[in-house]
């Protein structure tokens, strides 16, 4: 056990699984760096966020390599390799690039098992960066997990801290279904105690990060950190039950329902767009299964229904914050 | 030219005849309304799937298209289970959940018919990547039509395969039409061979109604891939006897063109004439195959019609391995 960054936790997870299973391969754009450059130095970058440093040196070009900028070919190659016996990890650098390769993910990889009557499996992981906070604007900042969550056949993972990142990524690589693994780009430098050896965190099991009695706060990904801050700030006055579902597909509905039955109040915090979203889904689950427990109407804390702006001031307004979450908590307490 | 053994010739004829009979019968049954969904027939193109797949083993993989029944048969899928699948029956290759456009048998290296034009090419890249990673002598074949060659997925896959020097063959079937649009309009380049070669791989064009021409060109490409020589493209100029889909009124097409194709571009007729003329096979041997195949397809249809559909509880199974 030692303090590790989110970035390092990701690298360790990939390393453990590549060491354990020779069928695990890893490819994407610029994950190694230096293929074809004038420096003639392979391994030059280790990924644009440094999540893959040292892996090329350890595993070599057969197991980890850079590809042309061809997202459809990357995703399809992963799906085809998974169908024929490998366990590929494919990197889609930014979640926003989904727009150029969605067919290979949602019409191909996600559907093989069903279309082929259960006679196929597609064990692959698609890693991608997600989320706002770097002023990267509308095409490099989106939180698109609701789109993936909507598709049967995909599993969707949103780690909120380095410990979960490592355990969930190991589970993703060992999983026999296609898994979308979304890493918030603002969290790579987050530090935490993380075990040195491999461990897997099962999907569909929420983590209750703060236990409380007054308000259930369901938060996704980076928003869990904000919700925890609000819980700590209000401690002694209002007690929050903060739930991090960790995966949006499968979703741990049981933990959410039990909590709302206990508290009677619900705030959902999500960085994704608000319409037909994971936040909407949580409220729908509670409406269906725990309506009578609610003392007041649930509140959704999400960005407005707009693209992500470039201006730092506007971006700060766009993303849910400790302040907007606290306001929502006070609102359900007053209601 | 390589002399082919009787065994190879008989196998080729049986496969082509099976595809012809299967598809002809599906056309009849579809029109009668007994086959559900959408279906696209391979009639006229039988020599291509056969000429390519006869070089492959079950360990080699192919990705296919919406016009995929011929690829399935040539790759060794069980014809009765295929027919059951077209009828969407419980005992079909895909338990009735795939149907004509998603028919697959991974155990035979048939990675699925595909209802998205051009989507199979990246999957074949993946299968070739598996071969490269595991160090097996296996190859992959991406079947696709002339229409699919205009998809970005195919461009990406061709470049990707060349860059990684993958054991992959792009088997392009130029049947003159991308859905309802003729190639004289939809292809901006001079031809498909030049365009494929521009990606940096060997490419050649053959008469796709001549089994021998396809077989030889595919043999060269497969041998090159197995030997580590990287990808190739084989463009087979094909004859699409039917519309894009069954029920397509083909108002965009001169009916004389179809008559002409059936008369002069019939791969089975050409094969038969040649092997009888050069004395390699006897008419009776071929007639015997015709009769056996007719019986097989008839039995397959009867069995499929009588078979039970999937059970209601099958609706929600096979989405995930675990969830």
- Residue A335 has what pLDDT? 84
DSSP A81-104: HHHTT---EEEEEEGGGGGGTHII
Question: pLDDT tens, A162-185?
Answer: 999 999 999 999 999 999 999 999
Residues A50 and A121 in one domain: yes
Interface touch A155/B323, C-beta < 8 Å = yes
CATH of the domain at A106: 3.40.50.970
SS3 assignment, position B105: strand
pTM of the model: 0.96
Residue B1 has pLDDT above 60, yes or no: no
**What percent of chain A clears pLDDT 90, i.e. is strictly above it?**
97
Residues A177 and A296 in one domain: no
Range of the domain at A19: 2-194
Minimum Cα–Cα distance from B139: chain A residue: A84
Gyration radius (Cα) of chain A, Å? 20
Domain locations in chain B as residue ranges: 6-303
pLDDT surpassing 80 at residue A264:
yes
| A190, A211: one domain | no
**What is the helix (H) or strand (E) element at residue B11, kind and residue range?**
helix B6-31
Q: Do B140 and A68 touch (CB under 8 A)?
A: no
ipTM here = 0.95
Instruction: Give every CB contact of residue B107 below 8 A, 6+ residues apart in sequence.
Output: A119, B58
For residue B2, name the pLDDT band (cuts at 50, 70, 90).
low
- Domain's final residue, options A194, A229, A252: A194
Q: Which residue is catalytic, options A8, A140, A262, A305? A: A140
Question: Looking at the complex, does the CB of residue B134 fall below 8 Å from at least one CB of chain A?
Answer: yes
- Lowest mean pLDDT segment, chosen from A34-38, A92-96, A157-161, B307-311: A34-38
Residues whose CB is less than 8 angstroms from the CB of residue A275 and which lie 6 or more positions away in sequence, other chains included: A305
What average pLDDT does this structure show over A238-256?
A: 98
Q: Is residue A182 located within the same domain as residue A76?
A: yes
Q: Specify the number of domains making up chain A.
A: 2
pLDDT tens-place string over residues A140-153 = 999 999 999 999 99
- Considering the segment(s) B6-303 as one domain, its CATH architecture is 3-Layer(aba) Sandwich (3.40)
The answer to whether the Cβ–Cβ distance between A73 and B160 falls below 8 Å is: yes
* Across B6-20, average pLDDT: 98
pLDDT tens, position by position, B234-272: 999 999 999 999 999 999 999 999 999 999 999 999 999
Q: Based on the domain organization, do A183 and A129 belong to the same domain?
A: yes
In a shared domain, residues A39 and A187: yes
- Residue B203 pLDDT exceeds 60: yes
**Cα–Cα distance measured from residue A53 to residue B216, given in angstroms and rounded to the nearest whole number:** 47
Whether A212 and A175 map to the same domain: the answer is no
Mean pLDDT of chain B: 97
Residue in chain B nearest A109 by alpha carbon: B123
Size of interface A-B (CB pairs under 8 A): 163
Return the CATH number at A301.
3.40.50.920
Query: Active-site residue A8, yes or no?
Result: no
Residue A286 placed within a domain: yes
Nearest to A120 among B63, B104, B156 (CB): B104
Q: For residues B55-59, give the mean pLDDT.
A: 98
Residues 6+ apart with CB under 8 A from B59: B109, B136, B138
Contact between B70 and B45 (Cβ < 8 Å):
yes
B115: three-class secondary structure by DSSP: coil
Whether residue A258 is contained in a domain is answered as: yes
Q: Is A199 contained in some domain?
A: no
CA angle A53, A55, A60 (to 5 degrees): 135
Give B121's contacts in chain A (Cβ within 8 Å).
73, 76
Q: Taking residues B201-219, what's their average pLDDT?
A: 98
Nearest to A80 among B97, B105, B124 (CB): B124
Residue A200 lies in a domain: no
Q: What is the pLDDT of residue A1?
A: 86
Last residue of a domain, one of A167, A194, A221: A194
Kindly state whether residues A91 and A234 are assigned to the same domain: no
Which of A173, A194, A215 is where one domain is finished?
Answer: A194
Q: A94 in a domain, yes or no?
A: yes
A228 and A285 co-located in one domain: yes
């Amino acid at each position: 056990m030692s303090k590790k960054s989110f970035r390092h936790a990701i690298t360790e997870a990939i390393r453990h699984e590549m060491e354990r299973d020779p069928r695990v391969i890893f490819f994407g754009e610029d994950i190694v760096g230096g293929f074809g450059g004038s420096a003639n130095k392979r391994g030059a970058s280790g990924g644009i966020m440094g999540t893959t440093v040292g892996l090329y040196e350890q595993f070599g070009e057969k197991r980890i390599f850079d590809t042309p900028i061809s997202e459809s070919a990357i995703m399809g190659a992963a799906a085809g390799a998974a169908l024929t016996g490998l366990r590929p990890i494919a990197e889609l650098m930014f979640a926003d690039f989904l727009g150029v390769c969605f067919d290979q993910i949602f019409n191909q990889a996600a559907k093989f098992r069903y279309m082929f009557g259960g006679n196929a499996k597609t064990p692959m992981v698609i890693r991608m960066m997600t989320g706002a906070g770097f002023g990267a604007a509308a095409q490099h900042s989106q939180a698109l997990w609701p789109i993936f969550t909507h598709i049967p056949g995909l599993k969707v993972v949103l780690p909120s801290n380095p410990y979960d990142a490592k355990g969930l990524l190991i589970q993703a690589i060992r999983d026999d279904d296609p898994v979308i693994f979304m890493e918030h780009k603002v969290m790579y430098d987050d530090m935490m105690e993380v075990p040195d050896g491999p461990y897997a965190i099962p999907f569909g099991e929420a983590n209750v990060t703060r236990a409380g009695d007054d308000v259930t706060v369901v938060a996704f990904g980076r928003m869990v950190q904000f919700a925890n801050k609000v819980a700590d700030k209000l401690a002694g006055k209002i007690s929050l039950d903060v739930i991090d579902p960790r995966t949006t597909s499968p979703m741990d509905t049981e933990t959410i329902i039990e909590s709302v039955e206990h508290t009677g109040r619900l705030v959902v915090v999500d960085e994704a767009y608000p319409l037909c979203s994971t936040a909407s889904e949580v409220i729908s689950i509670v409406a269906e299964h725990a309506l009578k427990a609610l003392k007041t109407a649930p509140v959704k804390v999400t960005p407005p229904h707009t693209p992500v702006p470039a201006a730092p001031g506007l971006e700060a307004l766009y993303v849910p914050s400790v302040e907007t979450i606290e306001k929502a908590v006070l609102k359900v307490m007053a209601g | 030219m390589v002399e082919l053994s009787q065994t190879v010739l008989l196998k080729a004829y049986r496969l082509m005849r099976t595809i012809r009979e299967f598809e002809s019968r599906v056309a009849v049954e579809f029109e009668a309304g007994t086959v559900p969904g959408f279906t696209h027939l391979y009639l006229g193109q039988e020599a291509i799937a056969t000429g390519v797949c006869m070089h492959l083993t079950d360990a080699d993989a192919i990705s296919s298209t919406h016009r995929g029944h011929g690829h399935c048969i040539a790759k060794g899928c069980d014809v009765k289970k295929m027919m059951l699948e077209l009828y969407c029956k419980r005992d079909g290759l895909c338990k009735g959940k795939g149907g004509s456009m998603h028919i697959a048998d991974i155990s035979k290296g048939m990675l699925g018919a595909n209802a998205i034009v051009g989507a199979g090419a990246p999957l074949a890249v993946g299968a070739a990547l598996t071969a490269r990673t595991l160090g097996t002598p296996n190859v992959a074949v991406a079947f696709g039509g002339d229409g699919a060659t205009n998809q970005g997925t195919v461009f990406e896959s061709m470049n990707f395969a060349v860059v990684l020097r993958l054991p992959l063959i792009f088997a392009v079937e130029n049947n003159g039409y991308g859905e309802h649009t003729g190639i004289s309009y939809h292809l901006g380049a001079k031809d498909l061979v030049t365009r494929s070669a521009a990606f940096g791989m060997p490419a050649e064009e053959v008469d796709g109604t001549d089994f021998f021409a396809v077989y030889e060109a595919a043999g060269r490409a497969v041998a090159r891939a197995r030997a580590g020589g990287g990808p190739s493209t084989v463009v087979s100029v094909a004859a699409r006897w039917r519309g894009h889909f069954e029920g397509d009124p083909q108002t965009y097409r001169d009916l004389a063109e179809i008559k002409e194709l059936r008369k002069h571009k019939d791969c089975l007729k050409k094969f038969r004439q040649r092997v009888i003329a050069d004395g390699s096979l006897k008419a009776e041997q071929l007639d015997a195959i015709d009769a056996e195949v007719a019986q097989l397809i008839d039995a397959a249809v009867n069995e499929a019609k009588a078979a039970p559909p999937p059970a209601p509880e099958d609706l929600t199974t096979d989405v995930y391995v675990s969830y």
